[in-house]
Amino acid sequence: MRSLRKTVLLAIVVSVLLVVALLHSWPTRAYTTVDVWQRPGPAVERHLEERFPEPDHRSANIPYRVKESVAGLLARNGCVCEGETGGMNLPFAQLLFPRVSAHPMHTAFEASELDEMKKRRAKEYQGFQMRTQTPADMLIVAEANNPLQYPTQGMEVRPLKTILIPGLAVQDHPRELYTVNFTSTLGTLNVAAEVEGVKVKGDGEMRMTLTSSLLSNLNRQLQFVTYTNTLFHPSTADTVQFETEGHQAMFTIKVRHGVTPKLYNTGPKGEYNISALVTIATKTFLRYDKLQALIDSVRKYYSTVTIVIADDSENPKTVSGPYIEHYIMPFGKGWFAGRNLAVSQVTTKYVLWVDDDFIFTANTKLEKLVDVLERTTLDLVGGAVREATGYTATYRQTISIEPGEEEGDCLHMRRGFHHIIQGFPNCVVTDGVINFFLARTDKVQQVGFDPRLARVAHLEFFIDGLGSLHVGSCDDVIVNHATKIKLPWVSQSESDKTYAKFRYPPASSDATHTKNGLLYFKNRFQCLTHN
Ligand SMILES: *[C@@H]1O[C@H](CO)[C@@H](O)[C@H](O)[C@H]1NC(C)=O
Ligand SMILES: *[C@@H]1O[C@H](CO)[C@@H](O)[C@H](O)[C@H]1NC(C)=O
């Protein structure tokens, strides 16, 4: 008898525990699988199409005159690979009267493989678009005389968190019963408070209805509407539908994590402490005499700044000394691989890129470049390089991308800049600069240097960074270039000759092919024009 009672008791305890466990693990929203493809659901798309206002047939007959000067600014459907024609065919013509030349990128591939390349590129591009677009990028049109009031932009919720939806209201003609519906797809709707005289249906679900015979009570209730993200899928957006009799509106709520900052402790306030703020990074290959001259010149002005050296020479020599980090890489890994390695080791807020044959002088005032980055929103600022002849270059380039169709986009590079920076009369905003620049370390690491670009490369970094790097250039911070101009009566050293063979291959070489191939496939360009 006693053992039977014990068994029954045990059975009851076990079932209660089971129910509790089940209730606890029961998901509020049952998402068994999550479609993490970035694309608007078909329902949303269909709905958007339906909502587009019917073209008014009466307006089709109203005459108009096209204003060429403005209409011409609208993007054509596809860019065309064209340079400037005509001009003189004189020696040095390109130097004196720079003309725009155009280079098709598909020439990097044999005719036989081009079709296959094009297909593969199209497939990768489609994937890229799906990953980078969210419903927050969709066009939403607000209809005329809509009685619904709602937020049009700026709403954001962290994954799986709740927000109040601000600004909701209805201004409608008198009627017996007012109804509003909400529909969401990545989360649920609810009310943070209940207002008298308003019936709430579907609270805590993806579809919620509020009804009331009193408009003012309904509007009071609308001030308490909340949205909770329930599907964990950050960096996307939920399109919420808000409707009342005869009228619909849509707005998006971005679902995303806050941006985690990466802050650097720059020490006590006062003068800029360059050693605490800047690391000098360079890449060397065979030219140890040049590198030593660079180090010596840096030490004259900045005795404790860290210098990071990436080295892919065949028989690396030891480069040592205080505040020097020398990283040896496999032989001939290349130019961008070396830049990547050097930059990856930087722990200061800023990194200064220099070539191994530069020489610091009294004009190489890093404080000025730091000041520009500290006081503006720029991420990277270039200086100027003075040749032995006295000629000083900043190599400023503007970069723009014109959309194209299946053939790819067109990349346009032009010498020049966009505008002067207020408060810094020697500095301008541009898109690409010379091999001598100071940059926010985390931004440069984000963009990265494509290690496939082994030999001839520089502006490719700025092309990859377009849209995320904000670039400037100042011509009053100058570094000297150890002579590069070949004088026939001065014999080159052995290492200089080997260096030249690797660094300046002929235009028809594999290196140029690799470069054009990357522009064609990776960046999806059909054409490069430049002057
Ligand atoms: C609100 O949704 C209900 C069903 O969910 C529907 O019957 C009603 O017509 C909708 N009302 C409005 C104003 O769209
Ligand atoms: C500058 O920074 C370096 C490295 O952080 C530090 O050792 C040095 O004491 C600082 N100098 C001054 C003047 O604060």
The 10s digit of each residue's pLDDT in 136-178 is 888 888 878 889 999 988 899 999 999 999 999 999 888 899 9
Q: How far is the CA of 365 from the centre of ligand 2 (A)?
A: 18
Give Cα 454 to chain centroid, integer Å.
Answer: 24
Question: What is the pTM for the complete model shown?
Answer: 0.80
The percentage of residues in the chain with a pLDDT greater than 90, rounded to a whole number, is: 50
Q: For a pLDDT cut of 70, what percent of the chain falls above it?
A: 83
Q: Cα(373)–Cα(273) distance, rounded to whole angstroms?
A: 14
- The stretch 415-434 carries a mean pLDDT of 94
**Domains of the chain, residue spans:** 64-75+135-256, 274-493
| Ligand 1: nearest atom to the Cα of 245 | 13
| Distance between CA atoms of residues 411 and 463, nearest Å | 9
Residues with CB under 6 A from ligand 2: 267, 273, 275-276
Q: Which DSSP string do the residues of 150-218 spell out, in sequence order?
A: ---S--EE-TT-EEE-TT-EE-----S-EEEEEE-SSEEEEESS--TTEEEESTTBSEEEEEES-HHHH
Mutation to probe ligand 1, out of 209, 211, 243, 244 (largest number of atoms < 8 A from CB): 209
Residue 12 CB neighbours (<10 A): 10
- Ligand nearest to the backbone CA of 247: 1
CA distance 165 to 192: 11
Give me the CATH code for the 64-75+135-256 domain, please: 2.60.40
> What is the C-alpha separation between 199 and 179, in angstroms, rounded?
9
More confident residue, 350 or 86: 350
Q: What is the CATH number of domain 274-493?
A: 3.90.550.10
Please report which confidence band the pLDDT of residue 488 belongs to, taking 50, 70 and 90 as the band edges: very low
Token pair recorded at residue 97: 């009267």
**Tens-digit pLDDT profile for residues 43-89:** 455 555 555 556 667 777 788 888 887 777 776 678 888 888 765 55
Distance 200 CA to ligand 1 centre (A): 13
Beta bridge partners of 429: 419, 472
Q: Which ligand 2 atom lies nearest to the CA of residue 268?
A: 14
- Concatenated DSSP letters for 71-133? HTTSPPSS------------TTHHHHS---EEEESGGGS-HHHHHHHHHHHHHHHHHHHHHH-
The span from the CA of 398 to the CA of 531, in Å, is 11
Ligand 1 residue neighbourhood (C-beta within 6 Å): 179, 181, 207, 209, 243-245
Which of 384, 388, 387, 378 has its CA nearest to residue 396? 384
Using alpha carbons, list the distances in angstroms from residue 416 to 40, 53, 361. Answer: 40, 44, 26
Q: CA-CA distance, 305 to 437, in Å (whole number)?
A: 16
Q: Residue whose CA is closest, atom 8 of ligand 1?
A: 181
Identify the residue whose C-alpha is closest to ligand 1 atom 10: 181
Which atom of ligand 1 lies at the shortest distance from residue 180's CA?
13
SS3 percent helix, strand, coil of the chain, rounded to 5, is 30, 25, 45
Residue nearest (by alpha carbon) to ligand 2 atom 3: 276
- Look at residue 489 in the predicted model and tell me its pLDDT: 44
Q: Let me know the angle formed at the C-alpha of 285 by 284 and 287, rounded to the nearest 5 degrees.
A: 85
442 C-alpha to center of ligand 2: Å?
22
| Selection from 430, 419, 491 nearest residue 459 by Cα | 430
For residue 147, the ligand closest to its alpha carbon is 1
Higher pLDDT, 422 or 132: 422
Quick: pLDDT tens for 508-520: 567 777 888 888 9
The 10 Å Cβ neighbour count of residue 433 is 27
Instruction: Give Cα 235 distance to the centre of its chain.
Output: 14
